[in-house]
Structure 1
Amino acid sequence: MSPAVLAAYRYCEAVTGHQARNFAYGIRLLPAGKRHAMSALYAFSRRVDDIGDGNLTAGAKRARLTETRALLGRIADGSVGEDHTDPVAVALADAARRYPIPLGGLDELIDGVLMDVTGRRYETWEDLRSYCRCVAGAIGRLSLGVFGTVPGAADAECAPRYADTLGLALQLTNILRDIREDARTGRTYLPVEDLAKFGCPPLLRDAAVPPGADFTGLVQFEVGRARALFAEGFELLPMLDRRSGACVAAMAGIYRRLLERIARDPAAVLRGRVALPTHQKAYVAVRGLAGLDARSVARRDGRGQRR
């Protein structure tokens, strides 16, 4: 690996370590090559997300996203070399040469962020599911391009679907965690039909719940949906090699425990950002490396669904 490419990867790893501590806990379990590639994917994805979440006008955001999509096209066609001035582009281009990464997933991410820019509401779960597939399911499929599946894995053709589903589970957990923060920016991602079912308004302004609304019931309903997505998504784990499986188990395990924290106290999401303490994240990472945490939760959830 040339010094220029190595420097580009180091830049992406610095971005990842600073901006995504949950993600960083997982990818540190990977061998260097896969860790570099995952950092490049994260850094590019973070750039797209930051455009959507920034303070630019809607028109300026669309223009920036169009420029970013054009850069992705140059990466995909191999025209970005190691002498490019953008370290994220250099790292992602190198990762795409080393691994069968389906870069079209990053096009889907841009599509999802454009939905945010237009302020789209989601009437049904299927509507929200389409958004989640763009902004999170696609990341699962991109990651699978780096991880690969073990030779002879049973039902390996289902791996992209499981990776996609696990991404949906993480995104729905994010949506529940960020209800208060999103409300303050005028966003409500939960399906309008679900909000109505529990007597909540289409937009939870300032995270205020009107008298008579069953907010706890709403959260528990969405938690049940997320649990089912996790249970299906965890079917991916036996298809991965030990260290890739540990990475996924650690990242998903952190979010799965976060989901249970929300389930125990649904009103906590209205008081502030729910998070796991650092020592619990480290514990989940260790259990992921041992192949314990996510698999045991998946088995428990599976039994619960069959009853």
Structure 2
Amino acid sequence: MRSEYRACRRIAARHGRTYFLATLLLPRHARPATYALYGFARRVDDAVDLPGGDPHTALAGCARLLDDVYAGRDVDGPVAAAFADTVRRYRLRRTWFEAFLRSMRMDLHVRDYPDFAALGEYVHGSAGVIGLQMLPVLGTVAPQEEAEPYAEALGEAFQMTNFLRDVGEDLRRGRIYLPADALAAFGVDRPLLEWSAATGRTDARIRRALRWFVARNHAVYRRALPGVALLRPESRPCVRTALTLYRGILDEIAGADYDILNRRVVVGKARRSGVAARALATRLVS
């Protein structure tokens, strides 16, 4: 399976810079499964967002892959083979992947969310279950069930950070993931966001709304943080680094004065490297 897992590693390195940097801090035995899970998630995500082709057909193919994996049948392609091996090796629950597919199907017809309750179903499937899938791979020092709420919260925090970073890009695709009622509390709606994106002009109401979302996102990170201590010691530097780097995106959003509808903020290479170097040093001496 080495070549199959290497193919997944290349996908992670190409598409997820921050994610891939953090995975280098994982113990070597945990990296292949991490890349395989990323490869499957990327395959499903691309089925929805890549231009050309029929996303319904592509998602149906992903669902058939799940059927084959859990039925113990042979699968085609390096990513599928590595994913199947990971699922069987770690006994990952099928319900986690089914929830992921449900959320990705929502992207085909849901363009906005009225409130956080409605968004919660999407976030559980698109991100919360990713944290749950990773727990058996990372290992825990407590019963896995004790760590699951924190893992799901961290997935939510990462996803909300993506929503904020990509708010302009998602808007151009016709989607708004920030709940309408929270935006409306600051006088923001779709037409205002579209006007701002089209003209490049900023608006104080949008800034105030984004500032509130960033503060809320920081609170989710704080809720997830105690879960790091429940992981096996050798897995903690990776997760702590990912948490720090993704929170850094929120700092970059604030540093841009929330003017992000026509730009995609990133954590600078120097900062990414510094955080990773400190985490690596911690892992080496622990």
Instruction: State how 1:4-83 maps to structure 2 within 5 Å.
Output: 5-56=1-52, 60-80=54-74
User: Partners of 1:61 and 1:156 in 2: how far apart?
Assistant: 35
The alignment's TM-score, normalised by the length of structure 2, stands at 0.91
**1:53 Cα offset (Å):** 0.7
Gaps of 5+ in 1: 293-307
Task: Tell me the number of residue pairs that the alignment of Structure 1 and Structure 2 aligns.
Answer: 280
1:250/1:284 contact within 8 Å kept: yes
Q: Deviations over 1:7-56 (max 9, x none)?
A: 10011001111111111111111223210000000000001001111224
1:250/1:289 contact within 8 Å kept: no
User: Partners of 1:122 and 1:257 in 2: how far apart?
Assistant: 26
User: Partners of 1:127 and 1:85 in 2: how far apart?
Assistant: 36
2:249/2:265 contact within 8 Å kept: yes
User: Partners of 1:23 and 1:196 in 2: how far apart?
Assistant: 33
**Residues 1:136 and 2:136 are matched in the alignment:** no
Q: Does 39-48 or 277-286 show the bigger shift?
A: 277-286
1:236 is matched with 227
Provide the identity percentage.
35
**Residues 1:95 and 2:86 are matched in the alignment:** yes
1:256 is matched with 247
User: Partners of 1:268 and 1:210 in 2: how far apart?
Assistant: 9
**1:264 Cα offset (Å):** 3.4
Instruction: State how 1:174-193 maps to structure 2 within 5 Å.
Output: 174-193=162-181
User: Partners of 2:88 and 2:28 in 1: how far apart?
Assistant: 16
Gaps of 5+ in 2: none
1:215 is matched with 206
**Residues 1:279 and 2:267 are matched in the alignment:** no
RMSD of the alignment, in Å? 2.1
**1:156 Cα offset (Å):** 5.1
SS of 1:270 mapped into structure 2? coil
The alignment's TM-score, normalised by the length of structure 1, stands at 0.85
SS of 1:258 mapped into structure 2? helix
1:198/1:217 contact within 8 Å kept: yes
User: Partners of 2:226 and 2:210 in 1: how far apart?
Assistant: 25
1:199/1:212 contact within 8 Å kept: no
User: Partners of 1:68 and 1:103 in 2: how far apart?
Assistant: 13
**1:205 Cα offset (Å):** 1.8
Task: Return the letter of the residue paired with 2:63.
Answer: R
Instruction: Provide closer, same or farther for how the CA distance between residues 286 and 242 of structure 1 changes in structure 2, counting only shifts above 3 A.
Output: farther
Instruction: Provide closer, same or farther for how the CA distance between residues 210 and 28 of structure 1 changes in structure 2, counting only shifts above 3 A.
Output: closer
